[in-house]
Amino acid sequence: MPGGRGYEGGRTRMGTVVLLNVYDLSPANEYLYSMGMGLHHSGVEILGKEYSFASGGGVFDSTPKEAPGAKFRESIELGSFEGGSAEVSSAISDLRGDFGPDRYNLIKRNCNHFANALVWRLLRRTIPGHVNRLANIGQCCSCLLPKKLLEESPVGPNSGGGGSGGGFQVYGRDSKKNDSISTPAFSGSGVTLGSQDSGSRVPLLGSWRGGGKKKDETLTDRREKARMAALARFEAKNAGSDRE
């Protein structure tokens, strides 16, 4: 049940309802969501508590739909199971070993992986694919990402989140300030393709006019010079043969 508060993860005659609360971690999700992906945080809401996972804190519970540093997007009703708080506690206890405080990894073991594991344990189904699709794609290039970025979660049990933001552009908690706080994962001026700036930037493939040479030479000029040099060598060789 997207949007709204649904059953708030409580008991019904059909059993205990399980909700997946999905959050946005970046304004970029306004564009990525329509493509079936995004930078998402998620928590599983059951019986009035929301369970999630973060670096430094491991598995933790919090007030539903109020994850610090993230913007609530939707609540998805995933189903219900026979049981109550005892079954939830047992499932979480079994998962703590795999989702300990020092086991967090942005690509391979994040909050969405925990949500998927808990939902599978209770309902024998997975969470919607779009919630963690970007992390699954990121496994192809995880070796290129800084270790600090991989090991810090953007949302955690404390008000400041589990880490320093992990390089994400995360939403700020104070709406009176900037709508978002940008924490770049990489820094530097970069390289501009075809730039003729001889300062801090170096042309990646040279400028269109002579590859960065001081003298402005066209391709035709260089070809003519090469032709003349080859002709001079040929004539010199023939002159030597005539003397012999």
* Catalytic site positions: 41, 111
Phi, psi of 15 (to 5 degrees): 125, -165
| DSSP annotation string for 195-230 | ----SS---SS--TTTTT-SS---HHHHHHHHHHHH
Contact 64, 8 (CB under 8 A): yes
Strands 58-62 and 71-81: unpaired
Show Cβ contacts of residue 78 under 8 Å, excluding neighbours closer than 6 positions. Answer: 18, 19, 20, 119, 123, 125, 127
- Contact status, residue 106 vs residue 166, Cβ threshold 8 Å: yes
Tokens of 120: 């599978």
